[in-house]
Amino acid sequence: MEPARDTICAIATPPGEGGVGIVRLSGPRALEILRRMFRTRSGRPRGAWESHRLVLGFVLDGDERVDEVLAVYFRAPQSYTGEDVVELHGHGGPAPLKRIVDVALRAGARTPEPGEFTLRAFMNGRMDLAQAEAVIDIIRARTDLSLRQAMSQFSGKLSTRVRALQDEILDWMAQLEAQIDFPEDDIPAAAVAEMVVRADAILARFDVLLAGADAGRVLRDGVRIAIVGCPNVGKSSLLNALLGEDRAIVTDIPGTTRDSIEEWINVRGIPARIVDTAGIRASGDAIEEMGIERSRAMLALADLALVVLDAARGVDADDEEILRISEEKPRIVVLNKCDVSDVEGRDAVRISARTGFGIDALLETIRSRIFSGIPLDHEEVGGNLRHRDALLRGRAHLTQARETAAGGLPVDFITIDLKAAVLALGEITGSSVTDQVIRRIFTQFCLGK
């Protein structure tokens, strides 16, 4: 892609009312446009614009003072995009901000594509692709843990690890190229063994990054948890207990919940979309039947099911049926109403949605189930589906290289796969991606970012 020649301008803050709203310009004409539209409090144009310094004044539209603003100029390359950037901090309302943008557009700026500011930062080498992707993860982070993982990726931890892995593969390639003069079909057994050990060590590092990408996906996108069970076992009460508010209607009439209710909750740092469903039973009621159909669909969609049993009523054939249909799912069996009774010998997390007994333990069980097999060491966490896909392909090439080495085939066959693995890793940092992929990533951004 060509470096940008034009200057873009958009509102950087969210729509609606706020104390301050920011209009941002980036590009070679940013300062010239600022000079045209800005006057100091005494009504004069400002002579010298120092970089990184706030100046109080007005935005003018003809003779009209549109808004009082703080203006700041960031001289390239010390700016978000690496270009000349201007920010105008006006009053945070739609009318003044839109007018400020209009004035800038008439002075020669244009409206950017979504994500174009960050795209320019990437194009100008201010950040690599994984870091640029982390910008949107920071904005969308739902929990502290999600934020921490996004910030870690933004500060380049994932990229550093990916590059270290690339270096390790490149080192191996260099070594192989040095010994390419082994006579064909005659690689010493010791050399073969050494190559296999080396491939295994690299594969192990792929696995660490892949586990991190799994955790990253969970922290960024969250998980879906469905609360299922027979009518009246206390599913809606459990939703309310987890949310800490009376969101769902609770009554002692079986069949109260007809439609599923979804809410986001924070499970020890994991964003979870939790769904309360209609109690599953044989019902003659058409509306209830539709709700039950939906419950089954929610169960199928969920990453994790909370199957609720009623300790006060005991476990009957209908409960056993639900336990059976949820068997294949990752699930936690929850025994509710333990303030009243217990069911001896039943393996379940014991709670009372009414008193709050066991809710903390349940949250902890959910957390550890979601992260079973995934290290929750933030150092290792990071990556999205795109990264995961690149890692899987890189890993496949390495596995192939290992097979080739183990089979004692000529070393230049190994290097072909190693090269492919390095390229797959490069997709993560953006050193080997097509313009098309880059554009697709940045169009997920909002306008003005």
Ligand X SMILES: Nc1nc2c(ncn2[C@@H]2O[C@H](COP(=O)(O)OP(=O)(O)OP(=O)(O)O)[C@@H](O)[C@H]2O)c(=O)[nH]1
For the CB of residue 313, give the shortest distance to Mg ion in the complex, in Å.
Answer: 15
Indicate the residue among 22 and 333 with the shorter CB distance to Mg ion: 333
List the one residue from 257, 336, 400, 415 that touches Mg ion (CB under 5 A). Answer: 257
Choices 75-83, 170-178, 337-345, 427-435; region in contact with ligand X by CB under 6 A: 337-345
Residue 92 interacts with ligand X (CB under 6 A)?
no
Residue 283 interacts with ligand X (CB under 6 A)?
no
**254-267: string of b/e by CB count within 10 Å (b at 16+)?**
ebbbbebbebebbb
Strands (E), 134-282: 223-229, 261-267, 270-276
Residue 159 interacts with ligand X (CB under 6 A)?
no
Choose among Mg ion, ligand X, none what residue 217 binds, the Cβ cut-off being 5 to 8 Å by kind: none
Choices 5-13, 231-239, 295-303, 319-327; region in contact with Mg ion by CB under 5 A: 231-239
Chain centroid, CA 141 distance in Å = 7
Angle, vertex CA 89, rays to CA 60 and CA 9, nearest 5: 75
For the CB of residue 223, give the shortest distance to ligand X in the complex, in Å.
Answer: 21
List the one residue from 112, 222, 234, 271 that touches ligand X (CB under 6 A). Answer: 234
Residue 340 interacts with ligand X (CB under 6 A)?
yes
Residue type, 237: S
Choices 68-76, 214-222, 236-244, 413-421; region in contact with Mg ion by CB under 5 A: 236-244
3-state secondary structure of 325: helix
Residue 295 interacts with Mg ion (CB under 5 A)?
no
Choices 113-121, 235-243, 283-291, 432-440; region in contact with Mg ion by CB under 5 A: 235-243
Q: Which of residues 19-48 bind ligand X (CB under 6 A)?
A: none
Cβ neighbours, 10 Å, residue 253: 9
Indicate the residue among 182 and 357 with the shorter CB distance to ligand X: 357
Would you state the structure tokens that stand for residue 126, as one six-digit string? 């201010």
Residue 156 interacts with ligand X (CB under 6 A)?
no
Q: Is 301 left (phi over 0), alpha (psi -120 to 50) or beta?
A: alpha
Residue 415 interacts with Mg ion (CB under 5 A)?
no
Residue 438 interacts with ligand X (CB under 6 A)?
no
**Which of 49, 51, 20, 53 is closest to 36 using CA atoms?**
49
List the one residue from 114, 254, 330, 408 that touches ligand X (CB under 6 A). Answer: 254
Q: Look at the block and give the residue holding tokens 């190229």.
A: 177
Helix (H) or strand (E) holding 304: strand 304-310
Residue type, 67: D
Indicate the residue among 168 and 342 with the shorter CB distance to ligand X: 342
List the one residue from 92, 255, 375, 408 that touches ligand X (CB under 6 A). Answer: 255
Cβ neighbours, 10 Å, residue 361: 12
Q: What CA–CA distance (Å, rounded) separates 342 from 329? A: 25
Q: Which of residues 349-368 bind ligand X (CB under 6 A)?
A: 352-354
Q: What CA–CA distance (Å, rounded) separates 9 from 447? A: 10
**Which of 132, 133, 150 is closest to 141 using CA atoms?**
150
For the CB of residue 322, give the shortest distance to Mg ion in the complex, in Å.
Answer: 14
Separation in Å, CA 294 to CA 8, 218, 298, 316, 327: 47, 24, 6, 22, 18
Indicate the residue among 299 and 428 with the shorter CB distance to Mg ion: 299
Residue 235 interacts with ligand X (CB under 6 A)?
yes
Is there a contact between 32 and 39 (Cβ–Cβ < 8 Å)? no
Residue 149 interacts with Mg ion (CB under 5 A)?
no
Q: What CA–CA distance (Å, rounded) separates 128 from 290? A: 49
Strands (E), 106-252: 223-229
How many secondary structure helices (H) and strands (E) does the chain include? 14, 12
Choices 24-32, 133-141, 254-262, 319-327; region in contact with Mg ion by CB under 5 A: 254-262
Choices 22-30, 67-75, 199-207, 254-262; region in contact with ligand X by CB under 6 A: 254-262
Choices 70-78, 89-97, 137-145, 251-259; region in contact with Mg ion by CB under 5 A: 251-259
For the CB of residue 351, give the shortest distance to ligand X in the complex, in Å.
Answer: 7
For the CB of residue 300, give the shortest distance to ligand X in the complex, in Å.
Answer: 18
Angle, vertex CA 406, rays to CA 403 and CA 410, nearest 5: 90
Residue 326 interacts with ligand X (CB under 6 A)?
no
The residues binding Mg ion (CB under 5 A) are 235-236, 256-257
The residues binding ligand X (CB under 6 A) are 229, 231-237, 250-252, 254-257, 278-279, 336-337, 339-340, 352-354
